[in-house]
Amino acid sequence: MWHGEENPGSATITVSAIEVPELTQQEQSDRLHLERKVEKAVFEAGKALMELRDRRLYRFTHSTFEEYCKDRFGFQRRHPYRLIEASAVFDNLMKMCPNGTQTETESSDAEIYPNGTQTENEEMCPIGTQILPTSERQVRPITKLEPQQQWEVWQTAVK
C-alpha cells in the first residue's frame, strides 16, 4: 500500500525526439569505402606480419617472432600466425573473384585475372557481388584448404 507516495507505475517520463538526418549518397559511399578499409586492415596486418617474420626484421631486439609479437603488439603466441593465414585466404579470394573488390590501386589484367579470362571470372563473380571476409575468425576454418577449395567454401558460406 502506498502511503501518500505516487505510484511509480504511473510516473510520467518526458522523452525528447532528436531528428537524425539520412545519409546523402556521398556519405553512404564514403561510409562503404571506409568500412572496406577497416575490414581490409586485418588482412593488411597479416601481410605485414608475414614480411616481418619472413625477413626476420625483429632479430635485433628479439630472438623469436613470437616474443617480438608479444612485446610489440601484445599478441598471444598463435594470433600473428592466424592473421598471416587469414591474409593468404583473403588474397586467394580476391584473385579468384576480383570484380567489385578492387583496391584503390589498379592492377594489370594478368594480376586481376590469374585463373582465367575476364569473361570467365565475370561469369563466376558478377560485378559487385563478391562478399569478402571481414575478420580473421571468418576464414580460420578454411586456411588449410587449396585456393580453389577456399573460394568454393567461401561462396557456399556467403549464400
Length of the chain: 159
What pLDDT score does 54 carry? Answer: 97
Spatial CB neighbours of 99, under 8 Å, sequence gap ≥ 6: 121, 122, 125, 126, 127, 128, 129, 130
In tens, the pLDDT along 14-28 reads 888 888 889 899 999
| pLDDT greater than 60 at residue 94 | yes
- Indicate whether this model's pTM tops 0.85: no
What pLDDT score does 31 carry? Answer: 92
In tens, the pLDDT along 96-121 reads 876 544 333 333 333 333 444 333 44
In tens, the pLDDT along 144-155 reads 999 999 999 998
- Using alpha carbons only, how large is the chain's radius of gyration in Å? 24
Q: How far, in Å, CA of 41 to CA of 29, rounded?
A: 18
